[in-house]
Structure 1
Amino acid sequence: MRDGPDISAIAALIGDPGRANMLSALMDGRALTAGELAGVAGVSLPTASGHLSRMVGAGLLVVAAQGRHRYYRLAGEDVAAALESLMSLAEARGHRRVRTGPRDAAMREARSCYRHLAGAHAVRIYDSLRARGAVAVGVSGLEVSSEGRRFLDGLGVDLSGLAGRRVVCRECLDWSERRMHLAGPLGTALLDYVLASGWAERVGDSRVIRFRPRGLKALEAAFPLDKDASATV
């Protein structure tokens, strides 16, 4: 590119299938070892170590040593947002995996996207918050209204992490729904609430967030949509 930042180096790193699988595995916010990521990528440990070194050098990953192990995680929410956008683009253009299974359908319903909730249920939460005016576009971007803070505080969502933050929430394009869900500190607080309240649980070592039946009922009651009201008439 002759103008603006050079995206070619970052694009080349992400574009390798093995590295793409590693990055995808870290999209739930966990930190994993080189051995674990080698298994995800289907490569040998030395090959995985080379990939990881390059991604750390490019600022896509950070690494921390703990005892004998070195743990790798995404460098930040901006990296996760870029990956989610690429997934959305791939989905829209028909670049899907050849083999799909039950986990793919579950991922579309609800999954972790770095530190916030994504999927159909996350889109529902965002649409409901926008409809009730709890979240709106302000001077500095997406903002939580005073009514929204009262509502979320009354629901039991921990808003302490929002204090002093210049940006408390932002939109994130959902690759499976191709619509927006909520990211940022508020998105993190909502995911924490969903899990802590027992509405849903993480599934193994995947990004899937599985809602329990009572959790789905609680979700629908707390975050209603206009179509919910019309369906009961």
Structure 2
Amino acid sequence: MEQGTYDGHEARSVDIVGEGLTARAIVDEHGTVTGWSEGAERLLGYAAADVLGRPAASLLARTPTTEGLLPLSELPRWNGTLALRHRDGRSLQVRALAHHRTPERGGASWFLVSPLAGSQVRPADEPMVAWSFTQSPDRALALYDTRLRLRLANEDMERYVALSESDMRGLRVNEIVDDDAGDRAEQAMLRVLETGKQHIETGLPGRPASTPGRSSCRRYGTGKAVSKGCVAPRTT
């Protein structure tokens, strides 16, 4: 799923973000595993050859409750905790975010992601909080580390994407928002790292291209970048 050859910009992005820091899997509409990343292997111990073509349900230690939910076929997205079975037999409680993809976005399937690192608040985040709220206007705000993985998000950003900060922490923007704008936002943040430019305009992740507004990226600190901010206009 995540394997292949990369060139130029893609290769630099793969190197910076650390593909193995997120467990990523794709499950088709029939419940069959069709994609499996290095991070998924780190999480559950199964190589891609062990799981591709198998029912995803075989990886569950316990069937998740769907009480009060619409049928999965009607949900655009799901997030919560899954009880998964490691290859060695252990049961793991795994926080997961699942995007329901349409045929236009890679075929009718579910794209599942779970961060393997950076999911806890760090003491080093505190200076970034002070910086972000003095340097940024009153808008939805998220800060990403030098791996382009979310560290902090304010309440406006939580409302904007309808996810809590803890749901997003440790994930890349294009794992939080599974659309082309999410990909563009990550590429903009990558350019901030590479060029040192403090401000880059992008589209609005998670919104149609015609939606008014903009988002921007800024580098925190001088010299070696230690974080980025990605902000979007307040929505009402």
Structure 1 length-normalised TM: 0.29
Work out which of the two has the higher radius of gyration on C-alpha atoms and give 1 or 2: 1
Structure 2 length-normalised TM: 0.29
Higher relative contact order (CA 8 A, sep 6+): 1
